[in-house]
Amino acid sequence: MSHANVAVESHAAGVMEERPFAIPSSKLVMWLFIISDAVTFGAILFAYGYVRNASADWPTPFEAPSIWNALLMTFILVTSSLTVLLSLRAAQTDDRRGAFNWMLVTAAGGTLFAILHLREWMSLIREGVRLFQNPWGAPLFGATFFSITGLHMAHVLAGVIALVVVALSYRAGRHTAKHIEIVSLYWHFVDVVWMFVVPLLYLMNMKH
C-alpha cells in the first residue's frame, strides 16, 4: 500500500470516531470487494443454472479422470489457503523469513492450480469442446464451462500476482502482516468460489 493511505490507516487516535467494525479500512474494503465479487460469481452461476435448466440436451461428459483432477485442484487450492495462513501467522510472530517463504509457497500452489486447470482445458479442447461447440449436446456447455472457470482462473492469476507483489514488498519492509492478512482474505475468497464451482460445474456434469 502506498503512502497515500498512511494517515487513514493510522486513524489518529482520539481525534476521530471509533471504527464501527474495529478493523482497518483496507480490510473493510477487501471484505466489501469480496461480497461484491461473490455476487458477480453468483450472478454468472445463476445464469449457468438458467440456461442449463432451459436446455433439453445438456451434456454430462466428465468422467473419473476429470473429477479426480478437480479434486486434486481442490486439494491444492485449500492447502494453499492453509499456507497463506501459516504465512500470516509467521508474520504476526515477526518471523519475516517464514512469512515470505510461506507466501511464495502459496503463490506456487496457485500457479500449480492454474497449470492443472489449463491441462484440463486442453484435454477438453482436444476432445472437441469449443466455446460454442461440443460433440455431446447443448453448445452452451462449453460457453458456461469456459466462461465460469475462466473468470475464476483470472481471479487465481490476479491472486498469484498479488501474493508475489505483497511478498516482495513485505521482504523489502514496505508491507506488514496487515497486508498479508488482506491478500490472504482475497486468496481464501478464490478458494470459496472454487467450492461452488466444483459441485456445480464438475459434479453436476459428470457421466452417470
Partner 1 sequence: MNPAEKSRGMSTTYAVYVVIMTMAVFQVLFAFEAGPSLPLMLMLAVLQASLAVMYFMHLGQERPSLVLALIPYTIFIFFMMNMIWSDSVRLLHMRPH
Partner 2 sequence: MSDAAAAVQHHGPPQGFLRKYVFSLDHKVIGKQYYGLALVAVFTGMFLSWLMRFHLVWPNAAIPGLQWLSRVGAPGGVMTPEYYLSLLTMHGTLMVFFVLTNAPFAAFGNYFLPIQIGAEDMAFPRFNMMSFWTTFAAFLALMTAFFIPDGPPISGWTAYAPLSAVGPDAGPGLGWGQNCWAISIALFCVASLLGSLNFIATTLDLRAKGMTLMRMPICTWAWFITSCIALLAFAVLLPACLLLILDRIAGTSFFIPAGLVVSDRLQPHAGGSPLLWQHLFWFFGHPEVYIAILPAMGIVSHILINSMRKPLLSHKVVIGSMLSIGFLSYMVWGHHMFLSGMNPFSALVFSFPTLIITIPATVLTLIWLGSLYGSNLQITTASLFSLGFISMFVSGGVSGFFLAQPSIDIYLHATYFVVGHFHLVMGVAAIFGIFAGTYFWFPKMTGRMMNETLGKIHFWFTFVGAYCIFMPFHYLGLAGNVRRYSSFVDDFMAPLMPVHKFITIAALFTGAVQLVFLFNLIYSRFKGAPAPDNPWNATSLEWTIPSPPPWDNFGGKHPVVYHDPYQYGVEGASADFIMQTSPEKLPEKS
Binding site for partner 2 (CB under 8 A): 1-12, 14-17, 19-21, 25-26, 28-29, 32-33, 35-37, 39-41, 43-44, 47, 50-51, 54-55, 131-132, 138-140, 142-143, 147, 151, 174-176
Q: At what angle do helices 96-126 and 64-92 cross, to 10 degrees?
A: 160
> Measured between alpha carbons, how far is 185 from 112 in angstroms, rounded to an integer?
20
Residues between 7 and 66 with contacts to partner 1, criterion CB under 8 A: 20-23, 31-32, 35, 38-39, 42-43, 46, 49-51, 53-54, 56, 64
Q: Is 1 in the site for partner 1 (CB under 8 A)?
A: no
The residues near 92 (Cβ < 8 Å, ≥ 6 apart) are 177
What are the angstrom distances between the C-alpha of 45 and each of 112, 114, 187?
25, 20, 20
In the bound complex, what is the minimum distance in angstroms from residue 35's beta carbon to partner 1? Answer: 5
> Measured between alpha carbons, how far is 133 from 100 in angstroms, rounded to an integer?
44
**How would you classify residue 138: left for phi > 0, otherwise alpha for psi between -120 and 50, otherwise beta?**
beta
Q: Is 173 in the site for partner 1 (CB under 8 A)?
A: no
Q: Which is nearer to partner 1, 104 or 200 (CB)?
A: 200
Per partner kind, with CB cut-offs from 5 to 8 A, the member of partner 1, partner 2, none near residue 172 is none
Per partner kind, with CB cut-offs from 5 to 8 A, the member of partner 2, partner 1, none near residue 170 is none
Q: Which residues of 129-155 are buried (b: 16+ CB within 10 A; e: fewer)?
A: beeeebebebbbbbbbbbebbeebbeb
Give, as one character, the DSSP assignment of residue 201.
Answer: I
Q: Which is nearer to partner 2, 71 or 125 (CB)?
A: 125
- Amino acid at position 79, single letter: T
Footprint on this chain of partner 1 (rule: CB under 8 A)? 20-23, 31-32, 35, 38-39, 42-43, 46, 49-51, 53-54, 56, 64, 67-68, 70-71, 74-75, 78-79, 81-82, 85-86, 89, 92-93, 184-185, 188-189, 191-192, 195-196, 198-200, 203-204, 206, 208
